[in-house]
Amino acid sequence: MDTAEAWIKLLYTYGPFAILVFLVFVTERKARTAMKEAAREEKSRMTLIYLLNWGVIFGLVLFSMYAWTRINLNGEPTIKGRIENLSGREVISTGSAFFYVHRVYVVPGHAEYMWRLVGQKKYTDGEKISIVLDPNDPNLGEAGITNNELTIKSSFYDREVRISYRRDLNKLFVDDGGQQVELPQSQQMIAEQPEPAWLDYLATTAFAQGSFQPAPYVSSLESPDPVIRRNARADLARQGAAAVPWIEDCWNNPKSSYRLKLGTLIALNNMSAVNTGALRPSTIAEFQRASSDPDEALRTEALKFLNRYRIPFPVTVFEHVNSTGRSQSFGEGRFRSDYKQLGNLPNDTASSVKVSKGYRVRLCENVGDGKGVGRCEEYGEGTFNLKVAKAGGVADLVSQIEVLRAPAPQIKKK
């Protein structure tokens, strides 16, 4: 009984290799002995059993050799590496289906990403792999996300490839024989990343039903993974006019997140065409307000949309008199220097202003409680130089700008 239990354990542990040993040293011996001792009429049958046993043995030998070769000689070529000098809040993504990353927390406030690049065959020298780095830094916002290109070298297969992050430059550097080489950054975001199947299904479903289904986009556009956000924006853009009303709702909802607003605006900019005449005035005003936002990515996308469709701003403020120097255009709303909402216009530099028909502008010396305090000047339609400080004006003193609709003219009764 002990012998049977021992063989069961061996077979369970070593699989076909243990079966091979069992057939050679146990069943072969028993079959050979039975063949020799068999009566004449049983001789042929026992011989056949003996030969079948050896056939199984040879089959297992061939299978064992094949398995050993696959395990030890034909493994998938792999490049191993790590990304160092991370704080732990950064997010690393990639567009390659064969690039695997794993975050390791070293000590509090310090982390590393272990990564592997696996392929059915070796990558050739010069091939590029995208590594997307999201610093997840509120000061940089979405503009801080970079698409870095690692150029493959055959020597990478012989050593661990170490990549380090320079936070002050927001760049990645690869250790190439002791020399730190900067990874080039491209504007193309994950070009080799295929669109996920769920996005294709989502698009098909939305068009088949004849209506836009916004629910799946909310979580995707707000995902911490920049690749998921990118793919969701691309698919949202493909929805075209069906998605525009929902995009407007997002922009007119004060509770909408930064990523939701940015993602929907990027999608809008990537649509083939948008009927701006059908947009709500409040939406245009929100885009105009975003054009002076302190966040670079949001500001850039807002200006891209407004410039593409040549949507005029109601008010433009200039740094110097006679509409010269640096300038910043504004839509309806309040813009405060302490919130960094004056765009290209530094605090305390405004000297002239241009106001479109149907609007008025109020420029104040101090922000106060947000309504503007201290010296204030108000102008309607036209182009004006602000009064100088000696004359009680706000030239070179402006810290808050408020753009409003001009009151409708009163019709006098005869």
pLDDT at 243: 94
| Domain identity same for 226 and 291 | yes
Beta-carbon neighbour count of residue 245 at 10 Å? 14
pLDDT at 9: 67
| Domain identity same for 97 and 169 | yes
pLDDT at 103: 84
The series of mean pLDDT values per 10 residues for the chain, 414 residues long, is 60 64 75 79 81 82 73 73 89 82 78 87 89 86 88 91 92 91 73 43 45 86 88 92 94 94 94 93 92 88 93 94 94 90 90 94 91 92 94 94 82 56
Domain-embedded: residue 410? no
pLDDT at 253: 95
Domain-embedded: residue 60? yes
Domain-embedded: residue 11? yes
pLDDT at 406: 87
Domain end marker among 266, 290, 308: 308
pLDDT at 198: 44
| Domain identity same for 291 and 211 | yes
| Domain identity same for 105 and 168 | yes
| Domain identity same for 234 and 337 | no
Domain end marker among 308, 325, 349: 308
Q: % helix / strand / coil in the chain, to the nearest 5? A: 40, 25, 35
| Domain identity same for 303 and 324 | no
The count of domains in the chain is 4
Distance (Å, rounded) from C-alpha 85 to C-alpha 171? 11
pLDDT at 206: 44
Strands in 135-170 per DSSP E: 146-151, 161-166
pLDDT at 96: 76
Give helix 281-290 / helix 244-252 axis angle, nearest 10°: 60
pLDDT at 357: 92
pLDDT at 245: 94
Domain end marker among 25, 56, 72: 72
Distance (Å, rounded) from C-alpha 414 to C-alpha 412? 6
| Secondary structure (3-state) at 102 | strand
Domain range spanning residue 117?
A: 78-186
| Domain identity same for 323 and 394 | yes
pLDDT at 276: 93
- What is the residue whose two structure tokens read 């054009």? 291
pLDDT at 194: 42
Domain-embedded: residue 192? no
